[in-house]
């Protein structure tokens, strides 16, 4: 799945990933390959991005939005 995390400072992460774990206002979710389309509000916490080699990258977010799109891609707009 193609994933981008974008903040006011610019691109925080861009690449092909295996999973993205995020804290939303409704609870914690993990987005995997070919996830159904979704738009959700992010809560204060960490985005844990696992790339295709298994390496984890942690990105801190105060708030934001996550959109999972058809075509196996996702974008997080964070602050």
pTM, two decimals, is 0.95
CB atoms within 10 A of CB 42: 20
Residue 26: predicted pLDDT: 95
The arithmetic mean of pLDDT across residues 3-9, rounded, is 97
In the chain, what are the domain boundaries?
A: 2-78
The arithmetic mean of pLDDT across residues 55-70, rounded, is 98
Q: Checking phi first, is residue 34 left (phi over 0); if not, alpha (psi -120 to 50) or beta?
A: left
- The second-level CATH assignment, the architecture, of 2-78 is Sandwich (2.60)
pLDDT digits (tens, 9 = 90+) for 13-29: 999 999 999 999 999 99
pLDDT digits (tens, 9 = 90+) for 19-62: 999 999 999 999 999 999 999 999 999 999 999 999 999 999 99
Residue 3, classified by CB atoms within 10 Å of its CB into exposed (0-12), middle (13-18) or buried (19+), is buried
């Amino acid at each position: 799945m193609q994933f981008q995390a974008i903040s006011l400072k610019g691109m925080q992460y861009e690449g092909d990933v295996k999973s993205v774990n995020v804290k939303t206002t409704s609870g914690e979710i993990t987005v995997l390959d070919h996830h159904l389309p979704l738009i959700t509000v992010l809560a204060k916490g960490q985005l844990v991005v696992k790339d295709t080699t298994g390496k984890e990258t942690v990105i801190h977010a105060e708030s934001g939005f996550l959109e999972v799109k058809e075509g196996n891609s996702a974008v997080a707009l964070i602050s």
